[in-house]
Amino acid sequence: MEVISLTKENFQAQIDQGITLVDFFGLECESCQKQLPVDEELAEEIRHQATVVKVDIEQEIELAAEYGVMSTPTLMLFKDGYQVETMIGLQSKEKLRQTILRYAAMGETC
């Protein structure tokens, strides 16, 4: 499943509802290029529990700065508008899935 690209204009609307995994990435980043296929596989597998999106930090400099992204890939998990997890560096699909499912199991509250 293709991972949706977000911009500053649509970022807040996306993270405000449900669970969203955001991959802040750079096009020139080798680890980021390895992470994106993992994100795509995960997006398909957890599509009923969460949404997986990406933000190109070179195009969305202000957004990356607002969230304190200092290195890539940086993955942030949001639940109902609240940032609940931050993971820096290449992450396995299994670790991401377990993290997402843990928050999905919590129901409506963080």
Residues tagged active-site = 29, 32
Q: Element (H or E) spanning 1, and its range?
A: none
Amino acid at 65: A
Distance, CA of 45 to CA of 33 (rounded, Å): 20
List the alpha helices (DSSP H) in 4-106.
8-15, 30-45, 61-66, 93-105
Residues facing residue 20 across a β-bridge: 51, 78
Handedness of CA 63, 8, 53, 18 (dihedral sign): positive
